[in-house]
Structure 1
Amino acid sequence: MIYALADKETLNQKGVSLKTFLQHISTFPNIPILQYRNKLASLEEKKEDLEIIREYYDGILIINDNIELISYADGLHLGQEDLRKYSYDLQEAVSLVRQKIGARLLGLSTHDKEEILEANTLDLDYIGLGAYRATDTKSEANVGGKTLLEAAKYSKHPVGIIGGVHMDDIFEEPIVYKVIGSGLYKGLFPTKGK
């Protein structure tokens, strides 16, 4: 299954509106989940974007980091550092987040076997695992390659593999989501020189 990544900063850099992106991905089969990520905008702009997503996308909507916008989404995804802002005790941190989001989905970014084993002890709905391959959009990411595929086998949670993932990649459980961002842009931009 495809876990679509709608990164507003990337869309802005490419000159593509959120609405155009959503209309474009509606032509893809099997995108049951979409994460909205926007590190720079105001809460008001993010709220407006979430309302646009709801208008054009009817799958599961995950918000990245902004727990204060959880009422507009079906779940929350946090990075390792973002979770630790609640508490360095990860059990306590997840408990505090769960108090705010209730039964909504909760995902956590992981990068290696050690973080996966730690995540196994937490009340999560899924984990993100990456970076699988190098990407243009996250040049600072450490690439795990096949080592990540082995590490994923230790997860008791469903895994979303991220980082240079292609639509035609095939993975074994517990990897259930192919997290794709820029791979969904194909056909969205005019080709240069034509």
Structure 2
Amino acid sequence: MPQETEIYALIDSRLLRRYDLSLARVGRFLEEAKIPIAQYRDKEASDADVARALEELRIYYSGTLIVNDRLGLAGLADGLHLGQEDLAAIDPDSEAAVSKVRRQIGSKLLGLSTHNREEIETANALDLDYIGLGAYRSTATKADAGVSGKALLELARLSRHPVALIGGVRWEDRFEAPIRYKVLGSALMERIANL
């Protein structure tokens, strides 16, 4: 029986610009809607700009805040989410890379993007708190993401970690364990913009 999965808000700087949304407006919405977890992602800004954005979000949002790819800024957040390339840049050996990250972030949440069986199986041996898995449907934010649709739901069952399903996920979607989070990016920003 499908369960109500938790919403994992993806606050992407490009989406903020596309929908002309401020961090204050988004943060207030997340707080009022009691969204339990949110990730801030900005692939283009400097560390200083991302740090300022995290600090601004903290003014309005008291939930779990994750920073994307910026290990040096994990101290300003409750956790860190890394992509496969970012993990490999820390160390080509994924276990060694996660050990290095854990030494820096301690018990903060650590998530890793996965896309296929091999990456999930590798992630199963790592000290992670969750995996991101996608793309479920096509999405405007990552045009190059491979879409796996229903096959992704079967892959999710291979994970020993809770799964955050990403890529074209909709508000009304419901999933079974181990999918714990439905990651909403465009759908979330569109809803906020239309309020």
TM-score (structure 1 length as normaliser) = 0.93
Counterpart mapping for 1:4-15 below 5 A: 4-15=9-20
> What residue number does 1:19 align with?
24
2: CA distance between counterparts of 1:126 and 1:177? 9
> What residue number does 2:57 align with?
53
Counterpart mapping for 1:95-106 below 5 A: 95-106=99-110
Unaligned regions of 5+ residues in structure 1, if any?
A: none
Contact 1:8 1:18 in 2 (8 A): no
Q: For the aligned residues, what is the CA RMSD?
A: 1.4
1: CA distance between counterparts of 2:82 and 2:194? 34
2: CA distance between counterparts of 1:190 and 1:108? 31
> Identity of paired residues, percent?
53
1: CA distance between counterparts of 2:73 and 2:176? 33
CA separation of 1:55 and 1:131: change in aligned 2, threshold 3 A: same
2: CA distance between counterparts of 1:121 and 1:149? 20
- Corresponding residue SS for 1:138: coil
Unaligned regions of 5+ residues in structure 2, if any?
A: 1-5
- Corresponding residue SS for 1:168: coil
1: CA distance between counterparts of 2:77 and 2:194? 32
2: CA distance between counterparts of 1:21 and 1:13? 13
Contact 1:94 1:122 in 2 (8 A): yes
> What residue number does 2:170 align with?
166
> What residue number does 2:93 align with?
89
User: Where do 4+ consecutive residues of structure 1 move more than 3 Å?
Assistant: 186-191
Amino acid of the residue matched to residue 111 of structure 1? H
Shift of 1:168: 1.1
Q: Counting helix residues as a fraction of each chain, which structure ranks higher? A: 2
Amino acid of the residue matched to residue 132 of structure 1? Y
1: CA distance between counterparts of 2:127 and 2:191? 39
Equivalent of 1:76 in 80, 84, 97:
80
> What residue number does 1:134 align with?
138
CA separation of 1:92 and 1:190: change in aligned 2, threshold 3 A: closer
Amino acid of the residue matched to residue 159 of structure 1? V
Shift of 1:187: 4.0
CA deviations over 1:55-104 (Å, ceiling 9, x no partner): 11111010000011111001000000100011111111111111111111
> What residue number does 1:109 align with?
113
Shift of 1:135: 1.1
Shift of 1:50: 0.6
Equivalent of 1:155 in 159, 169, 177:
159
TM-score (structure 2 length as normaliser) = 0.93
Which protein, 1 or 2, shows the higher relative CO under an 8 Å CA cutoff with sep ≥ 6? Answer: 2
Contact 1:126 1:158 in 2 (8 A): yes
Shift of 1:16: 1.5
2: CA distance between counterparts of 1:163 and 1:95? 28
CA deviations over 1:116-172 (Å, ceiling 9, x no partner): 111001010000000000012211110010111000001000000000001111100
Contact 1:4 1:179 in 2 (8 A): yes
- Corresponding residue SS for 2:90: coil
